[in-house]
Structure 1
């Protein structure tokens, strides 16, 4: 575990392995531990760095008014501080939206994108009625007596979480900060990065669970159609957390993609 400081914020990260850099960006109500199978499985040939975003894990609380640009700028600062750019940048769910905003703001730091079960913001990916329903449901959940927030969202897995993952998920959920989650949900509801997709000029790997009920496969198909150089890998028998539910095919896809598109390679 390491730390950097950016504008008064402490940002924590885990680092493993050697080789071309792969930066992992977790989803909402998560921290870097959600990438544990990738930190372990990809370190033989990649330098794998997974951050705790501001407001999560061992990083500082979010400042008031912190927005999507703040998350992207913090991620850029991490990549620069560790000398990783241009890097493969992988984001799952909310983390994919952060990765897209990083690409919008600092494309020179991004060699490729790996987008896992994600969105171009909720506004940019889901029907308006679905966005309203999600926001209303999240507000009810956050106003209720304390719950394990990371486990409260339906459709995270194809069925029940695999038994071997339950302790990890419970540990992550116990550390979720309601104020962070509330701020992220408001950001996601208003974020619309759909206009960015046709302008992505780096190879992009899309990894989606076949049974993802949070970001349905139709979202992936629209990403595939919009991004000029996109490859879609559908992981069978998985929901929204494909990287945890079936890490082997996810790791194989990421490993092969990174081999094919080394940072700095001419296109």
Structure 2
């Protein structure tokens, strides 16, 4: 991680830049550093970038669910005294952004989702029965990306450590069940928040038809594709991701 983590009250987060607030929400297995390129780019473009560390493994098991994380985000926004926030989420982070917007639409100016859960989850959190086998975990980590080389040893090691920690594995499975339980198919048509959908054409975790369904159901959304790209577009094609998002924010005057 290239930025210092601030720790205040019960919040740990990165904050960089000044201007309109963009809150970035990481995924289930995603670290804050996954968004380094986004943070570096937009913090120089008149935005205050905030990347909270979501309490995925620190909440009690009964609160380990999408709704509780959305409430945590609401508390973070209140703690920072923010209004008219832009939420950007990948995978589970996208789902949390969507659920938060459903609960507190007055707080959110715009949404950006990429590889988001909320409509469909391809075995999220499952398939770890051979979790002690490093090569199996390495293959699962590589499958997230179009180019397996993006799954560096550091990324594989982090996933391996997570699934071999019994407490973390139990929480991971609880979140996976919660993501399915908190399906947003019926909620999306009522959500008027402008939404930018950026999706990898080769995403196998949340396939392209999921992006198309998000685009159909959300009343004010635009869908952008990135070719030769898997589940984490901001990591695999950071420059293209930033350019698409920058153009959309500019066009919408955000």
Per-residue deviation, 1:118? 1.1
CA distance in 2, matches of 1:143, 1:174: 11
Residues 1:107 and 1:142: Cα distance change in structure 2 (over 3 Å): farther
Specify which of 94, 97, 104 is matched with residue 96 of structure 1.
94
Residues 1:47 and 1:174: Cα distance change in structure 2 (over 3 Å): farther
Q: What is the RMSD computed on CA atoms of the aligned residues?
A: 2.4
CA distance in 2, matches of 1:189, 1:150: 25
Q: Does 1:65 align with 2:62?
A: yes
TM-score, normalising length: structure 1? 0.82
Q: Does 1:203 align with 2:197?
A: no
Per-residue deviation, 1:44? 0.3
* Long gaps (5+) in structure 1: none
1:204-260, CA deviations, whole angstroms, 9 ceiling, x for partnerless residues? 000000111111111111111111111111011101111100001111122222233
CA contact (8 A) 1:155 1:212 kept: no
Per-residue deviation, 1:144? 3.7
Residues 1:235 and 1:186: Cα distance change in structure 2 (over 3 Å): same
The aligned residue for residue 212 of structure 1 is 203
Per-residue deviation, 1:64? 2.3
CA contact (8 A) 1:151 1:169 kept: no
Q: Does 1:180 align with 2:178?
A: no
Q: Does 1:156 align with 2:133?
A: no
Per-residue deviation, 1:189? 2.7
The aligned residue for residue 222 of structure 2 is 231
CA contact (8 A) 2:145 2:236 kept: yes
1:29-178 maps to which residues of 2 (within 5 A)? Answer: 29-45=29-45, 46-55=47-56, 61-66=58-63, 67-120=65-118, 124-125=119-120, 134=123, 138=126, 140-141=127-128, 144-145=131-132, 147=134, 152-153=140-141, 155-162=143-150, 166-170=152-156, 172-173=158-159, 176=162, 177-178=168-169
SS of residue in 1 equivalent to 2:148: coil
The aligned residue for residue 180 of structure 2 is 189
Residues 1:11 and 1:175: Cα distance change in structure 2 (over 3 Å): farther
Once the two structures are overlaid, the 10-residue window that deviates more, 141-150 or 70-79, is: 141-150
Residues 1:168 and 1:17: Cα distance change in structure 2 (over 3 Å): farther
1:122-175, CA deviations, whole angstroms, 9 ceiling, x for partnerless residues? xx336xxxx6xx26x81x51574275968735631113133xx61552464366
CA contact (8 A) 2:197 2:211 kept: yes
Aligned length: 242
CA contact (8 A) 2:131 2:160 kept: no
CA contact (8 A) 1:30 1:172 kept: no
Per-residue deviation, 1:83? 2.2
CA contact (8 A) 1:4 1:78 kept: no
CA contact (8 A) 1:15 1:48 kept: yes
The aligned residue for residue 7 of structure 2 is 3
TM-score, normalising length: structure 2? 0.86
1:14-33, CA deviations, whole angstroms, 9 ceiling, x for partnerless residues? 11111211111111112312
CA distance in 2, matches of 1:155, 1:237: 13
